[in-house]
Chain A
Amino acid sequence: MRKSRKPLANQHNLTAYTFLLPWLIGFFCLTLGPMLGSLYLSLTKYNLLTPPQWIGFANYIEIFKEDDTFSNSLWLTIKYVFISVPLRLAFALMVAMVLNKGIRALGIYRTIYYIPSLLGGSVAIAIVWRQIFDGSGLVNQFLGWFGIQGPSWISHPSYIVYTIISLSIWQFGSAMVIFLAGLKQVPADLYEAAQVDGANKVRQFFRITLPMLSPVIFFNLVMSIINSFQAFTPAFVIGDGRGGPLDATMFYTLYLYMKGFSFFDMGYASALAWIMLLIIGAFTAIIFVTSKYWVFYGDSKEGR
């Protein structure tokens, strides 16, 4: 038994690395160099046009000590992630469960609901979103039927972030497709047994569906958090492209971009980028560490 396991594991690894190969090539040939370059630049004052000057950790010190825009944009981004990710996943799971009821033409629905995920990051959709949430846009016309005078969602600093969050929720498709695949994996006999024991639908959901789905939730959560931290296009297009009004759309990535390309401070922007990497890394690590308490692998006991 022991003897045969190792070659099998090797074979598994080989397959895995083969599939990883395109990514690995891309990483080593395209990504790694610029990354190390930016690490160096983050320790310099570099205005893009004249050679960088070494200033040690001055950029980092300034970011943490003096930069209000940094802390504001970080909180805004965290707020965005913490509201949009759970909502998007919940919505995706809900739709996936409806689709999993065995309706006809599932393929068509699945495709239709997936489309927003493909389109959602694009500039065109963000512009459409602007129109929908404008002062005299679709949403306010709808509210008007009920006699509610809605504000201009995209131009008031208190509301605009929710416009962007709603756009993010609308892109639930990719998470939904993964949930749908996960739901199909849940053995039907578990539900049958639960039914026989008299468990209602809610109990079945919390006792069977969620635990059986936890690896998929885990995956979706990690991917969504990483993606949401890097949200750029919606903030850039729905806002005024400069973080306005009143820095209400000043997402972290947008601030980084403006520092680098508009304000000629690429060293500072590089430092911001590395801080972002560490923050995303920390969040991902937290999820991984806690995962053993809440992620349940149905097949873990039997081994591979």
Chain B
Amino acid sequence: MRQRLIILVLAMLMVFTAACSSGTSSNGAKNQNGAGGNEVSQVELRIMWWGDQKRADITNEALKIFQEKNPGIKVVGEFAPSTGYFDKLNTQLASGTAPDIFFLGGNVVDYANKEVLLDLSPYVDKELNLSDMDQSMIQYGTIGGKLLHISAGANARGVVVNKTMLEKAGIPVPTDGWNWEDFARISKEISDKLGSGIYGTYNMSIDGMDIGLKQQGKQLYDMDKGTLGFEEADALKWFQYWDTAAKSGGVVPSELQVSNPPGDTSKSLVVTGKVAMSLIPSNQLAAIQGLTQDELIMVQVPRGEKGTGVVFESSQGLSGYAKTKHPKEVATLLSFFINDPDVAKILGNDRGVPVTSANRTLLESNANDVEKIVYDYTSRVSEATKTEPFAVSYNPPGFSEYSKLAETTMYEVGFGRKSVEQAVSDFYSGTVKIFKNNQ
């Protein structure tokens, strides 16, 4: 009996070690492949994106259609929540096992600098059809003379306003063209009138920082010159505005913003009706509206000296891996992703408004109420930038470290650990250091 037990334990140990070793020696793609295909001639592509379950479902559905239309290519999708996505991607890039295609956001410059992105220029007009894509989007994906990034959706940031709450407080709903003074006044009024625990606005000092700088005629990162595009004094002005607004009581206190960050729709206080205004990318409106009964609208960002500072720009896009074995198939999939009408119908505006005019018309004709608000908003922004043009924003190199620093700065002020002057001074010197380190 005892001997049998020992043998059993040993057998289990062996199974365990075997399982472990196979996990480390072969990468994820091979494992997933093991279940399905025996066809030898098939090319297999891996694609990775970030986002929630809903996005995963529709993306997988789109990939399924692609495989039906391209029987020679098998696609394996992977996804991660946005918080862990880039760590996962970085690790895979470091070990040389990155997916053939992956999504990137404004941090595309970081990856372009590290030369891990596939140059798609040779495939344009062959596998990759960009004839219907907006010229500005093609330009956005062209970094250092190479086409490295295909935008998968465009958006414009704006202020989401809970109309129901404002009506309840008896405050007139703001309209495009308002300025920051109006914004601070309205925020405070909402907080005052709707009682404790309810606030006018989230603290947008970090998410809206590049907008705030553009409104002063500066920018976060000057891509053409390869330098930082602002001075300490510019940042100080912006942070001081928010500090004053926060002290008057119209802004969500730091403690609450930490536990309910605005970017996380499942925790957002806009959804629970505790906050009336927040800065969002237009493609998020549908997700937020889907979780609340209140009526939400989108208003342009309050104006600064030079205007709103907002442009209609890429929200995220696809890049190929420089070391992919199947660059042609990568280009085919990218082309399909932005051009195919069936895919556009499935994906909708989840990643932003489609970047090809044909698909945009297609979706606009079938738009529901929320989507109509989004289209209306983005066309207002496009209209405004005709008279007040602003540069498209790229994130500076070392963006994840920078954004961590910026967030710390906001909370240092918010929790009263440092004076605004001190915090911004540390912020600026830290930013310069990160920037130098990552060039």
The secondary structure that dominates the A interface is loop
Task: Please report the C-alpha to C-alpha distance between residue A258 and residue B415 in the assembled complex, in whole angstroms.
Answer: 24
Counting chain A CB atoms within 10 Å of each CB, the highest count among B255, B261, B398, B411 belongs to B255
Q: How far is the CB of A76 from chain B (nearest CB, A)?
A: 14
B86 within 8 A of partner (CB) = yes
B83 within 8 A of partner (CB) = yes
Task: Please report the C-alpha to C-alpha distance between residue A266 and residue B110 in the assembled complex, in whole angstroms.
Answer: 16
Residues of A within 8 A of B400 (CB): 262-263
A240 touches B258 (CB 8 A): yes
Q: From residue 69 to 99 of chain B, which have CB atoms closer than 8 A to chain A? A: 83-84, 86-87, 90-91, 93-94
Task: Please report the C-alpha to C-alpha distance between residue A154 and residue B415 in the assembled complex, in whole angstroms.
Answer: 14
A245 touches B254 (CB 8 A): yes
A234 within 8 A of partner (CB) = no
Question: Which residue of chain A is the closest to B404 with respect to CB atoms?
Answer: A242
A49 touches B87 (CB 8 A): no
B408 touches A152 (CB 8 A): no
Of B83, B116, B256, B437, which one neighbours A155 at CB under 8 angstroms? B256
A152 and B256 in contact (CB under 8 A), knowing A49-B93, A246-B408, A246-B417? yes
B41 within 8 A of partner (CB) = no
Task: Please report the C-alpha to C-alpha distance between residue A254 and residue B295 in the assembled complex, in whole angstroms.
Answer: 41
B438 within 8 A of partner (CB) = yes
B90 touches A48 (CB 8 A): yes
Q: How far is the CB of B13 from chain A (nearest CB, A)?
A: 10
Residues of A within 8 A of B91 (CB): 261
B231 within 8 A of partner (CB) = no
B259 touches A261 (CB 8 A): no
Interface string of A126-170 (1 = CB under 8 A from B): 000000001100000000000000011011110000000000000
B182 within 8 A of partner (CB) = no
Task: Please report the C-alpha to C-alpha distance between residue A50 and residue B116 in the assembled complex, in whole angstroms.
Answer: 9
Task: Please report the C-alpha to C-alpha distance between residue A263 and residue B404 in the assembled complex, in whole angstroms.
Answer: 10
B114 touches A155 (CB 8 A): no
A155 touches B255 (CB 8 A): yes
A246 and B401 in contact (CB under 8 A), knowing A48-B94, A49-B114, A155-B256? no
Counting chain B CB atoms within 10 Å of each CB, the highest count among A47, A155, A157, A264 belongs to A264
A134 and B259 in contact (CB under 8 A), knowing A261-B90, A263-B398, A265-B437? yes
B115 within 8 A of partner (CB) = yes
Q: How far is the CB of A160 from chain B (nearest CB, A)?
A: 9
B438 touches A157 (CB 8 A): no
Question: Which residue of chain A is the closest to B434 with respect to CB atoms?
Answer: A263
B383 within 8 A of partner (CB) = no
Counting chain B CB atoms within 10 Å of each CB, the highest count among A135, A156, A244, A263 belongs to A263
A49 touches B115 (CB 8 A): yes
A182 within 8 A of partner (CB) = no
A152 and B115 in contact (CB under 8 A), knowing A241-B84, A244-B408? no
B412 within 8 A of partner (CB) = yes
B342 within 8 A of partner (CB) = no
Task: Please report the C-alpha to C-alpha distance between residue A244 and residue B404 in the assembled complex, in whole angstroms.
Answer: 9
Residues of B within 8 A of A263 (CB): 398, 400-401
Interface string of B82-126 (1 = CB under 8 A from A): 011011001101100000000000000010001110000000000
Question: Which residue of chain A is the closest to B322 with respect to CB atoms?
Answer: A49
Question: Which residue of chain A is the closest to B90 with respect to CB atoms?
Answer: A261
Counting chain B CB atoms within 10 Å of each CB, the highest count among A134, A152, A155 belongs to A155
Residues of B within 8 A of A50 (CB): 114-115
Task: Please report the C-alpha to C-alpha distance between residue A262 and residue B256 in the assembled complex, in whole angstroms.
Answer: 26
Residues of A within 8 A of B376 (CB): none
B52 within 8 A of partner (CB) = no
A262 and B411 in contact (CB under 8 A), knowing A47-B114, A154-B259? no
Q: From residue 381 to 418 of chain B, which have CB atoms closer than 8 A to chain A? A: 398, 400-401, 404, 407-408, 411-412, 415, 417
A243 and B259 in contact (CB under 8 A), knowing A261-B87, A264-B438? no
Residues of A within 8 A of B412 (CB): 246
B87 touches A157 (CB 8 A): no
Task: Please report the C-alpha to C-alpha distance between residue A194 and residue B401 in the assembled complex, in whole angstroms.
Answer: 62
Q: From residue 36 to 94 of chain B, which have CB atoms closer than 8 A to chain A? A: 83-84, 86-87, 90-91, 93-94
Q: From residue 228 to 260 of chain B, which have CB atoms closer than 8 A to chain A? A: 254-256, 258-259
Q: How far is the CB of A53 from chain B (nearest CB, A)?
A: 13
A49 and B258 in contact (CB under 8 A), knowing A244-B408, A262-B400, A263-B398? no
Question: Which residue of chain B is the closest to A135 with respect to CB atoms?
Answer: B259
B259 touches A152 (CB 8 A): yes
Question: Which residue of chain B is the closest to A30 with respect to CB atoms?
Answer: B24
A156 and B255 in contact (CB under 8 A), knowing A48-B93, A246-B417? yes
Residues of A within 8 A of B259 (CB): 134-135, 152, 154-155
Residues of B within 8 A of A258 (CB): 404
Residues of B within 8 A of A152 (CB): 255-256, 258-259
Q: How far is the CB of B433 from chain A (nearest CB, A)?
A: 9
A49 and B415 in contact (CB under 8 A), knowing A155-B255, A244-B408, A262-B400? no
Interface string of A231-254 (1 = CB under 8 A from B): 000000000111111110000000
Interface string of B130-146 (1 = CB under 8 A from A): 00000000000000000
A262 touches B90 (CB 8 A): yes
Q: How far is the CB of A249 from chain B (nearest CB, A)?
A: 11
Q: From residue 152 to 194 of chain A, which have CB atoms closer than 8 A to chain B? A: 152, 154-157
Task: Please report the C-alpha to C-alpha distance between residue A134 and residue B258 in the assembled complex, in whole angstroms.
Answer: 11
Task: Please report the C-alpha to C-alpha distance between residue A258 and residue B83 in the assembled complex, in whole angstroms.
Answer: 12
Task: Please report the C-alpha to C-alpha distance between residue A91 and residue B93 in the assembled complex, in whole angstroms.
Answer: 45
Task: Please report the C-alpha to C-alpha distance between residue A30 and residue B210 in the assembled complex, in whole angstroms.
Answer: 46
Partner-B contacts on A (CB < 8 A): 47-50, 134-135, 151-152, 154-157, 240-247, 258, 261-266
A-B contact pairs, 15 of them (CB 8 A): A48-B93, A48-B94, A49-B114, A50-B115, A135-B255, A151-B255, A157-B417, A245-B258, A246-B408, A246-B411, A246-B415, A262-B90, A262-B404, A263-B398, A265-B437
Partner-A contacts on B (CB < 8 A): 83-84, 86-87, 90-91, 93-94, 110, 114-116, 254-256, 258-259, 261, 398, 400-401, 404, 407-408, 411-412, 415, 417, 437-438
Top 7 nearest A-B pairs (CB, nearest first) are A155-B258, A155-B259, A48-B94, A49-B114, A263-B401, A245-B258, A246-B411
